[in-house]
Amino acid sequence: MTLTESLPRKKLPRDFFLTAVIGGAVIMLILANNIVSDRTSIRSEVLGILSSAGFLLFAALACVRGALRRTPYSRAWFFLAIAVLLCLASTAFTVYYQLTMDGGYPFPSPSDYVFLAYVFPALAALLSLPRPPALRISRWRMALDTLVIALGVLFLSWTTVLESVVGAVGLDSLTGLVSTAFPIVDVIVCSAVLALGMRQPPGERLTWWLLGGGLVVLTVTDSIYTGLATDGVPNLAAHPMMAGWMIAPMLVALATMVPSGRRHSIS
């Protein structure tokens, strides 16, 4: 016999507010520095890359801690930790290029391949999150919703980024294929976030807003980066858009700190 009990919604822990306040202040300081400093200097580029790496490392540690708690979200945080670590590895490659190649970046490079690979554990994390019964029963409806959302996001991506990328680099070379893969990965992640997140129960929406918001910010920032790189904008590591690569992991870390209001089944 199965007994289902509802756990009361807990208050947000102090770690949540400390992370939000301190992380937000650090992002504002770095963003201000990127705006007023000389973006052509090596110091500004290295600061931008290391700041992003620091936030990614913090998010990875937060996901690992969430995975060790043995909650209904443990498996999702495990996969998400892998996704964040792949992004961190991509950043490490970028730091290596910055320090050894006088700011030059080969493209495509291991950094790009590693970053693109994050989509697989990220999707696994989203699909591993606890879902209400309606989502488990109505799989066809969820698939249809995902398809409709994906087409809408693909259209938006095509009009804003993808069309210019394809027109600039084409699809007849490895460079063109990798450049096009970035916005396509963005479309996949955004579609999954929107399709799964819009049906979450009220008690779980904060977790989804933070997690989904983090992934969406990451994909939007990545699309902006791809567009700027295609246009030949230099020194992107010192560009203000780097704030997106700090906000995204901070939101993911905050999501792991939200107590679950999920119902648990006890036999």
Q: Can you give the residue range of the structural domain that contains 35?
A: 11-259
What would the pLDDT profile of 95-141 be if each residue is shown by its tens digit?
777 667 665 566 677 778 888 888 889 888 888 877 665 545 455 66
Angle value at C-alpha 262, between 258 and 267, nearest 5 degrees:
135
The set of residues, in sequence order, having a beta carbon less than 8 Å from that of 177 and lying 6+ positions away, is 171
Angle value at C-alpha 209, between 92 and 240, nearest 5 degrees:
45
Mean pLDDT calculated for residue range 31-53: 77
Domain presence at residue 43: yes
Asked if residue 23 lies in contact with residue 57, where contact means CB atoms within 8 angstroms, the answer is no
Domain presence at residue 133: yes
Lowest model confidence (mean pLDDT) among 4-8, 45-49, 58-62, 134-138: 4-8
Q: Say how far apart CA 97 and CA 172 lie, in whole Å.
A: 26
Domain presence at residue 267: no
Domain presence at residue 94: yes
Domain presence at residue 4: no
The pTM of the full predicted model, rounded to 2 decimals, is: 0.78
pLDDT(34) > 70 = yes
Q: Provide the number of structural domains found in the chain.
A: 1
Q: Say how far apart CA 237 and CA 225 lie, in whole Å.
A: 10
Neighbours of 173 (CB within 10 A): 11
Q: Which helix (H) or strand (E) holds 266?
A: strand 264-266
Domain presence at residue 51: yes
Q: Say how far apart CA 192 and CA 181 lie, in whole Å.
A: 17
Domain presence at residue 244: yes
Looking at residue 2, its pLDDT comes to 37
